[in-house]
Amino acid sequence: MDAMKIEQTEETNLLTEIAVAYYQDGATQEEISKRFGLTRVKVGRLLKRARDIGIVEITVKYHPVFSAKLEEKLKETFGLKRALIALDQPSEEEQRTLIASVVSTYLSSSLNDNMVISVGQGRNVSAVSEHIGIVTPKECTFVASIGGIHPRGGMLNADHISRQFAKTFGGVSETLYAPAYISDPDLRNTLMNDITVRQTMDIARKADVALVGIGDLAENSYMVNQGWFSVQEMVEARIQQGVVGEVGGYDFFDIKGEVQDTKMSNRVVGLTIADYQKIPEVIAIAAENSKPLSILGALRTGAIDVLATSVANAITILNLEAQQ
């Protein structure tokens, strides 16, 4: 066996033993330092290392009564199946990581063998696929619901995310062999009718579950950064048509949840809101605290069945709904 692998195995074993002693058996760091012949400072560093590489996964839970009441209020108000609410975190990245953990746990318990899962693009969906945690293997098919992104899209590409989910759960993935964005609407429509693209899209449309992100129309949004749409097009859609967001990278809607025909329409190869409305369970993920209006509009489309977001976003959208 390679010396590096032996070293990594020994380190993992030590980290696991110390983590079990501290988190499960309740031993103090002083007791652990004596048992393993280490300094307390070293023990503290090893416990941090165990958390960093995923041996230890800490989930902070707020009061169960508050959690249950908040979820029930969201379910009652918007007709949701579930609301997966994570505690507010000091940074956007920490918020995304915690929400990803909550969604990953939910998928592990709710997915069944032979299910088809339609997978969207973006940072929030990607974070779920990259989450390090214990999941129950599922023989599922994960299929990209939107075409491929320029190489700089990397880990945010729906195809990459689908492959990562398949690797995590032990399932298989289906690639959508088409670019996500096409500047010419006529060319885009022609490609949508290609038999290979159509077959994959049909698999995605008939999925049992869909995972999507909720996007806003900020000037630094994902689609602007990718070069799909200009800042001017985003601003015009917001001002002239009241567009507040999009679901899955496709279809722009206003605060009432009504799809608007904008200059940006018909340029993306992917599922539409109408497609998502027919999928039995659509899980929408929004970690950013800048998205309450986008979340509210998305919920009003009737396409969302499970919402995963922060406490702050959940409370804000409930207050916004109550004021209208």
How confident is the model at residue 115, as a pLDDT?
98
Interval 234-262: pLDDT, tens: 777 777 878 888 897 778 899 999 998 87
Interval 145-173: pLDDT, tens: 999 876 655 778 899 999 999 999 999 99
Question: Cα-atom radius of gyration of the chain, to the nearest Å?
Answer: 22
- Distance (Å, whole) CA 311 – CA 4: 43
> CA quadruple 45, 50, 51, 52: dihedral positive or negative?
positive
Where does the pLDDT of residue 48 fall: very low under 50, low under 70, confident under 90, or very high at 90 and above? confident
Interval 174-209: pLDDT, tens: 999 998 888 888 998 999 999 999 999 999 999 999
How confident is the model at residue 216, as a pLDDT?
84
Q: Is the pLDDT assigned to residue 64 strictly greater than 70?
A: no
Residue 81 contacts residue 279 (beta carbons within 8 Å):
no
Domain ranges of the chain: 3-52, 64-323
Interval 110-150: pLDDT, tens: 999 999 999 999 899 999 998 877 778 899 999 999 998 76
How confident is the model at residue 5, as a pLDDT?
41
Q: Does domain 64-323 have CATH number 3.40.50.300?
A: no
Percent of the chain that is helix, strand, coil (3-state, to 5): 50, 15, 35
Question: What is the length of the chain?
Answer: 324
Phi, psi (rounded to 5 degrees) for 119: -120, 125
Residue 293 contacts residue 215 (beta carbons within 8 Å):
no
- Paired strand residues for 84: 308
In 3D, which of 223, 270, 271 has the Cα closest to residue 243? 223
Where does the pLDDT of residue 222 fall: very low under 50, low under 70, confident under 90, or very high at 90 and above? low
Q: What is the pTM of this model?
A: 0.78
Q: Which architecture characterizes domain 3-52 according to CATH?
A: Orthogonal Bundle (1.10)
**What one-character-per-residue DSSP string does 128-190 give?**
HHH--S-------EEEESB-B--GGGGGGSHHHHHHHHHHHHT-EEE---SBSB-S-HHHHHH
How confident is the model at residue 252, as a pLDDT?
87
